[in-house]
Amino acid sequence: MSLRIPEDFTLGAATAAYQIEGAAREGGRTASIWDTFSHTPGRTLDGDTGDVAADHYHRLDTDLDLMAHLGLDAYRFSIAWPRVQPGGHGALNPAGIAFYSRLVDGLLARGIAPVATLYHWDLPQELEDAGGWPQRETAVRFAEYAARTVEVLGDRVAIWTTLNEPWCSAFLGYGSGAHAPGRADGASALAAMHHLNLAHGLAVPEIRRAARNSPQVSTTLNFHVARPADQDADDAARRIDALANRSFTGPILDDRYPDDLVRDTAGVTDWAFVEDHDLALIAQPIDLLGVNYYSTVTVRDSDGRAPRAAADGHRAGAGSPWPGSEHVEFLPQPGPLTDMGWNIAPEALEELLLRLAAEHPGMPLLVTENGAAFRDDPIAGHVLDPERGDYIVSHLAATVRARTAGADVRGYFAWSLLDNFEWGYGYSKRFGIVRVDYDTQERIVKDSGRRYAELIRSRIIPS
């Protein structure tokens, strides 16, 4: 049976600044932790950096026209903190603001709603040098950056998102060290987690105060759907759910850190970083919860077996992204798998959305990222990528089914509009519905992009 996509359901595509913009040293932009990290030998595959990326900074009009060609209802982008506020404090950089202002105006002129994320991992290097996310002051700096940015762009942006996937910032950045800044210390990762939550909580009222068009305010989490490998593995799944998901939904939506999370991590930290009133500051009302979903994980207690490197779906680093639960083993997933090695399980997205709807009644949801990396090559100017197209169609269908079953899901954003810098994997993984030739910067709409455009046009998902 074909599925009808409701008229008021937003269909968009997403990107992030460091992954596409390039122009790393132009227009007054200073270094972020990802510049430093990617320029450190051995940190990214083949030493790839975001210096040029998809050169979006110089190809803004072309890319805006592509979005219009695809018929996107909305475009989710991130603002590079070191581009608009070099160094992470003080006055804004007019050239940086001019770029995002041009982007927002270009979207509106094409009838595309701007959805802006304030932090997609590019912390100004100066703030890392001062201690980074394990330091409380970084949260204060973020709220100031948010306030100043919304003061200038806050008459035109439809949805503001504070943070993208703070789990990655905290636990890959400071726990495993696979992401910038590349530190590997469980206690620092947990302190970073709390200060990211605090940064969100401090920024939300600033955004509401500074905005002049009553935007929706949100945050975006990358939910881990953790399955127990067998009947003895419930505790392993609970631990991963606590560290990956409830460490953020707990304080943001329920005003508290889960007791089991505090218990599981008691050997790593004493939680002294949580000060009086922090939980009240964090639990600000939000209008939307962003949900990023790609795949599932299957876990059990390792019982002393050697842990499998990066079978949790993330690149291995020197440390563990699971402080206090390092003994949890991630089993290889049965196929089909994407080029990231991630399993394809659209039914888990439907289940996740229904679970979130049940656990947080009244909280509107938005699928802010979903997509797949596959190898693809142009043949006579065409890119045939049936796996990516099927992935997007099946996950969009799962999202619409969840909505029909009662979850208040407001939209779906494909990751990603363009092939881009996939963090530690550099340019080796292609997620785009538009191919980027990194030698010429030519863009080719892939077959998946054409299929997505047709879904947007017809609002029918064929059976």
The residues of the shown chain that bind ligand IFM, judged by CB under 6 A, are: 16, 19, 165, 292, 369, 415, 422, 431
Q: Minimum distance from CB of 344 to ligand IFM (Å)? A: 14
Q: Which residue has the tokens 């950045």?
A: 173
Q: Minimum distance from CB of 137 to ligand IFM (Å)? A: 25
Nearer to ligand IFM among residue 385 and residue 422 (C-beta) = 422
Nearer to ligand IFM among residue 182 and residue 258 (C-beta) = 182
Nearer to ligand IFM among residue 34 and residue 142 (C-beta) = 34
- Pairing mode of beta strands 74-78, 10-14: parallel
Q: Minimum distance from CB of 423 to ligand IFM (Å)? A: 6
275 is catalytic: no
Q: Report DSSP state, residue 337.
A: B
CA 226 to chain centre: 18
Residue number of the CB atom closest to ligand IFM: 16
Q: What secondary structure does DSSP assign to 128-197, as a single string?
A: HHTT-TTSHHHHHHHHHHHHHHHHHHTTT-SEEEEEE-HHIIIIIIIII-SSTT----HHHHHHHHHHHH
Nearer to ligand IFM among residue 284 and residue 448 (C-beta) = 448
Q: Minimum distance from CB of 30 to ligand IFM (Å)? A: 21
Residue in 329, 369, 387, 422 annotated catalytic: 369
In contact, 85 and 124? CB cutoff 8 Å: yes
Give φ, ψ of 77 to 5 degrees: -130, 165
Q: Minimum distance from CB of 342 to ligand IFM (Å)? A: 9
Q: Which residue has the tokens 């992204």?
A: 321
- As beta bridge partners, residue 74 has 12, 113
Residue in 165, 329, 387, 422 annotated catalytic: 165
329 is catalytic: no
Nearer to ligand IFM among residue 374 and residue 415 (C-beta) = 415
Q: Give the 3-state secondary structure of residue 78.
A: strand
Rama region for 10: left / alpha / beta (φ>0; ψ in -120 to 50; rest): beta
Q: Report DSSP state, residue 305.
A: P
Question: Known catalytic residues?
Answer: 165, 369
